Structure 1
Amino acid sequence: MTPSNNKTHETATKRPAVLANLVAQHKGRITLLSFLSFAGALLEALFIVMVTSIAMALVGGTTTVGPVFGRSLGVPIALIFAASALAVRLIFSLSGVRVSADLVGEVTTNQRNELAHAYLRTSWAVQQSEPAGRLQELLTSFVGRVTNSISTLANSLTAGLSLIAFLSTGLLMHPAATAAVLLALAGVGAILTPLRRRIRKRSAANAQANLSFANAISEFGSLGLEMQTFGAESAFEKRIDRLTADATATQRQTQILQNSLPYVYMSLAYAAVLAGISLLWQVGPDDLGAVGAVMILMVRSLSYGQQMATSSAALAANAPFLGNVRETVDRYLSTPSATGAARPESLLPIEAANVGFSYSDRLALTKVTFRLAPGESLGIIGPSGAGKSTLAQLLLGIRHPSFGSLTANGIPISEIDRTWWSERVSFVAQDPLLFTGTVAENIRFFRSGIENDDLVEAARRANILADIEALPHGFDTHLGERGNQLSGGQRQRLSIARALATNPEFLVLDEPTSALDGRSESLIRTTLAELRGTMSIVIIAHRMSTLDICDRIMVIEHGEMTGLGPPKSLRSRNKFYQQALSVAGITQ
């Protein structure tokens, strides 16, 4: 067996265990549901027997019903008994519906919480490597399949116990007739086994196709501006049409198999009942009332058998999704975001000694050495792809060096308490991302302990306070979906206010002015100039004008630090820095 086949086999063997684990977590509700289902089915079977016996008595012109289970009853008493069984059956059924709904709701909540928490607590490296739309697909479609599996299991349990109750009643009424039908139904189950295997196989392919489709569509959805600009609508349509066709073909094959199973089962089951009746006709029963009740029970039980067949197909179709959700949670939990316990008096100075970092397929940084003193401003420049953003992520502590050491106040950053660290380090991204909410909510960014005065001060330092006060409701103004009511410059300055709200010791800015107009850039440069000396700052930038406030400049080329020093000294000895100044039109 090849390694890939081994992995597929291991995944397949885990899926029943996943479902079994879900059942174990909710065994209380499932036990109650089992009791309600079985008791309700017994009452339904008793109702059918009583009604059949009453009908036979009326046809025979007698006022006595039975004997039923060894006892004879008058017609009025039998009618009252049947009506009571029907009423209690309804109560049990409605209670079962409530328990089943509570079970499904609880499973949905638990699965989404577990998956979301695992994702949010995994390392940045894992989060960044996930395809676009992965979490959304898992929390919606895949968790929906898990929920559907539990719902299906509950229905299957109800149907199975009902079938057992009907067959048990039938055996008590007329063992020979029931046994004949049972043997035929066992043969039906054996015939359908290969079809169930086929459904599981096709469902695994369907799960993978749906995930690939969701990832691709999420990626295309983020390229709307480029699509419109470059006139690529037709190409996008063709690509999406092809992806849709591939995903639909797999889904269609799975659905045909899954939906065919109940009909095949029902036809074979009816054939089994006919075979049982034929056998009884040959034998010649002496108790037509009992045989009539048994036949009605058997025909009624076919609906429960059909439910079980439908549930079996649905569980087989959902099995790959169960495995994928469990494997994803385990993968996230196996690589948690690193944290330590150290809480130094200050996180400065930050020192890097021969720091390097490797991704799985390439070396991104090597031999980076520097010391960032308290209150110092350091600019980082270099060509695209040189490793600047990787260095920023190392400085933020969301990645850790592959080799060398990176320390804060003499302690490796990986050993520092993450909560303590996050309160003192802040970040401004090149593309500021806002969420649907108010100005105040976007500045706070889910962090507790930030008072209203802190918001005002952060906005003032970020030169965005006047813009906020001009809004209809100030800090309580709702910014629309993802902050779409603000301009690019306002969004960037709001993200700077977010970074300053906790008054950090260390601030990292990644291309803060790369896509801004002149006025917005000027305001941000003013902010940076005012922050100089109040905290340690690292600015990654292509625009040389943004680096005016920097005490020193670091040059990174092809993953290596090729220059580090005050701007004046780099002008005379670093070729890349000289070229950058020339391109910016800054005279030496």
Structure 2
Amino acid sequence: MSEQTNKSKSGLSFVLDLAKPYRRKITTLSSASFVGGLLEAGFLVLITGLMLSLASGELPTLPVTGPLESRSTVLGLASAALIARLILGLLTAKITADLGAMVTVDYRKRLSHAFFDSDWKTQQAEPSGRLQELMGSFVVQVNLAMTSLTQGISAALSLIGFIGTGFFVQPQATLAVLGALAILGGIVTPLRSLIRRQSHRSTTSTLAFVASVAELGSLGREMQTFGVRGSFKERIDSLAKTAAEDRRRANFTTGTLTPVYTFLAYSAILAGAGWASTISIGNLGAIGAVLLLMMRSLSYAQQILSVSGAISMAQPYLHTVNAAISGYLANPAAAASKRSDNVTPLALQEVSFAYESDRLALRSATICIQRGEMVGVIGPSGAGKSTVAQLLLGLREPDAGQVLVGGLDLATMDRTWWTERVSFVAQEPALMTGTVAENIRFFREGIVDEEIHRAAERANILNDILALPEGFATHLGERGTRLSGGQRQRLSIARSLATEPELLILDEPTSALDSRSEELIRNSLAQLHGSVTMVIIAHRMSTLDLCDKIAVIENGEVTAFAHPKVLASTNAYYQNSFRIQES
């Protein structure tokens, strides 16, 4: 469903669509609410008749059944109706709570599954903090919308029960009240539309605020370095004020629904009372019962109006969540089934790729990597090196040409088969909050403790781990903050080696490390040389002297692909980089 289609729907119809998976529970809720409304209406009619009989000294007379034999009969019937109403009320409360929990879980599942099943391009383009906000406060709004819907259904069917009872008691007076309710509902319709518009503005400013907080929060080092703490605070303060003001307006407009409706409803009652004072009233009991029923009906109508305001306010949140899910589902990760005997030879064959249509990041690149080779990739910043890594990993597909795995197009390969044989080490190690073992295993439950120990040894971090207070069971703090930069990088390498990959791709693995950490990682790579096919994207020439071949990428083109000794005598970029490194 497109966002445009979503916006063309009313808030209520949109929520009804969301409620379709829960039809059975909502049907039960509807039945319980309707019967509960009839029981409550019957109780009020019985009590009205009883009180009038006490005032007149005569036997109770009900509008429908006429005189009853005793007051105890009325008390018994009223008590039974009251108890049954309580039971049904508790049932509707349970169903409402169950539906709220189910909707929260279901929509968080739908959002997260749709996001994780989308392709890398879609995930990378997602603004920082947006998914968290959608799964947090936005899904809470979906829950509130569903809760409002169930409350509205309960109130509406209770109201129908009251009106139905009123028709039996005094049809003319009931019709008059029903007409008044319809008119009042029409009068406040523009107010609901205003609530929708203001809530949409509030939704937009909230997302902008969350995105800015996430972005600025990740720039703490730069804030300290460039001395712009005051500007950061001013930006957050401004966005917070805008978001709060938009929310305040929406809350105020929503809050006006109840007092405005109450004023109009009681004005109608006052007018009706003035009209009744000018005519003679025959059946006082019937009129009293209808008045009591309609007064209670007004409270249900008021509840329905409040629900409609809540749904109007939640509508932009519902649209945003639904549009996000649709956007993720429209860009699924590639699904294919082919498998190769080996991941090598691995080749880029005349590959071109562009992030933007008018600017190629890679142009007609051709590289072939044989089994057990260590291949380096060098070039200026922005030349296309990281693009090569993403293409080789299968995170992106070329606009032209092919990435070949054992002679087969990577785009046609079984993704599960591929990820079991390929691993990756990023420039900035991404550790999670957990233990050492959990970070190396990284949700791959098939990896046993012996494999974790072996991976740590091959990554030259085993001694560091054993020196920790609880070894592999040591908790590393939030996102691994208890480790140094070099330890974090070597732990990331251990993670990549835990599955004994055939292909290992490393993106600037030593760019921000001290010489000791770089040496340890270099030793790890040397030990892996020959047993694991490796592609290393690097600036530091010391990492590349182990390579069998080096690809030089300049302005998106592979300008050379040869052994380091050949490049040292033939390639100007390599010679210049080596000279700068030595100096």
Query: Over residues 176-200 of structure 1, what are the superposed CA-to-partner deviations in whole Å (9 max), with x where a residue is unaligned?
Result: 2222222222211111111111211
Aligned-residue Cα RMSD (Å) equals 1.5
Q: Partner residue of 2:510?
A: 513
Which structure 2 residues correspond to residues 94-173 of structure 1 after superposition, within 5 A? 94-173=90-169
Identify the residue that residue 67 of structure 2 maps to in structure 1. Answer: 72
Structure 2: unaligned runs, 5 residues or longer: none
State the 1:99 CA deviation: 0.8
Provide closer, same or farther for how the CA distance between residues 17 and 309 of structure 1 changes in structure 2, counting only shifts above 3 A. closer
**Cα distance in 1 between the residues matched to 2:116 and 2:103:** 20
Does structure 1 residue 307 correspond to structure 2 residue 307? no
Q: For residues 443-472 of structure 1, what are the alpha-carbon distances to aligned partners after superposition, in whole Å with 9 as ceiling and x for unaligned?
A: 111113211111111000000111111122
Deviates more, 1:220-229 or 1:260-269: 220-229
Encode CA deviations 1:261-304: one digit per residue, 9 max, x unaligned.
11111111111222222232233221112211211111112211
The question of whether the paired residues in 1 share the 8 Å contact of 2:40 and 2:85 is answered with: yes
Helix, strand or coil at the partner of 1:368? strand
Q: Distance in 1 between matches of 2:74 and 2:96?
A: 32
Q: Sort the Cα spacing of 1:16 and 1:391 in 2 relative to 1 into closer, same or farther, 3 A.
A: farther
Asked if 2 retains the 8 angstrom alpha-carbon contact of 1:505 and 1:535, the reply is yes
Structure 2 residue aligned with 1:528: 525
Identify the match of residue 388 of structure 2 among 383, 391, 394: 391
Distance of aligned partners of 1:263 and 1:16 in 2 relative to their CA distance in 1, 3 Å threshold: closer
Once the two structures are superposed, the pairs formed by residues 222-237 of structure 1 within 5 Å of their partners are: 222-237=218-233
**Is contact 1:380-1:388 (8 Å) kept?**
yes
Once the two structures are superposed, residues 50-90 of structure 1 have per-residue CA deviations (whole angstroms, 9 ceiling, x without a partner) of 1121111111123x111342242211121121111111111
Distance in 2, Cα, partners of 1:239 & 1:431: 28
- Write the mapping of 1:359-374 to structure 2, written as runs, cut at 5 A: 359-361=355-357, 362-374=359-371
Give 2:291's match in structure 1, choosing from 275, 289, 295: 295
Give the secondary-structure state (helix, strand or coil) at the position aligned to 1:69: coil
- Equivalent of residue 331 in structure 2, options 315, 335, 351: 335
Give the aligned partner of residue 482 of structure 2: 485
Q: TM-score, normalised by structure 1?
A: 0.96
Q: Deviations over 1:416-436 (max 9, x none)?
A: 100000000000001101111
Report how many residues are paired.
580
CA distance in 2, matches of 1:14, 1:539: 55
AA of the residue aligned to 2:404: T
The letter for the 2-side match of 1:572 is: S
Secondary structure of the residue aligned to 1:371 is strand
* Aligned positions of 1:103-502 closer than 5 A: 103-361=99-357, 362-502=359-499
Q: Structure 2 vs 1, CA of residues 196 and 19 (structure 1 numbering), >3 Å: closer, same or farther?
A: same
State how far apart, in whole Å, the 1-side matches of 2:446 and 2:182 are: 66
| 1:359-379 alpha-carbon deviations (Å, 9 max, x no partner) | 135311111111000000011
- Offset from partner CA, 1:138-188 (integer Å, 9 cap, x none): 111221111111000001111111111111112211122222222222211
Q: CA deviation at 1:502?
A: 0.5
Question: Secondary structure at 2:366's aligned position in 1?
Answer: strand
DSSP-derived class of the 1:370 partner: strand
Local SS of the residue matching 1:332: helix
- Cα 1:497–1:7 shift into 2, 3 Å: closer
Q: Tell me if the contact between 1:185 and 1:272 (Cα under 8 Å) persists in the aligned partners.
A: no
TM alignment of 1:562-577, pairs within 5 A? 562-577=559-574
Unaligned runs of 5+ in 1: 1-5
More deviation, 419-428/33-42: 33-42
Report the equivalent of 1:559: 556
TM superposition shift of 1:226? 1.7
Contact 1:273/1:298 (<8 A) preserved: no
Letter of the 1:373 partner, please give it: Q
2:40 aligns with one of 24, 39, 44: 44
- Cα deviation for residue 8 of structure 1 reads 4.7
When normalised by structure 2's length, the TM-score is 0.97
Work out whether residues 364 and 387 of structure 1, in 8 Å CA contact, stay in contact via their aligned partners in 2.
Answer: yes
CA–CA distance in 1 between the matches of 2:489 and 2:554? 27
State the AA in 1 paired with 2:377: I
Task: Report the CA distance between 1:573 and its aligned residue.
Answer: 1.9
> Could you tell which deviates more after superposition, 237-246 or 528-537?
237-246
Q: Residue in 2 aligned with 1:13?
A: 9
Kept in 1: contact 2:3–2:323 (CA 8 A): no
Alpha-carbon distance change, 554 to 15 in structure 1, aligned in 2, over 3 angstroms: farther
| Aligned residue in 1 for 2:537 | 540
Deviation, 1:7, is: 7.0
Cα distance, 1:11 vs structure 2: 2.9
Q: What's the offset of the Cα at 1:13?
A: 3.0
In 1, distance between residues paired with 2:402 and 2:11? 43
One-letter code of the match for 2:557?
Answer: E
Of stretches 490-499 and 175-184 in structure 1, the one that deviates more from structure 2 is 175-184
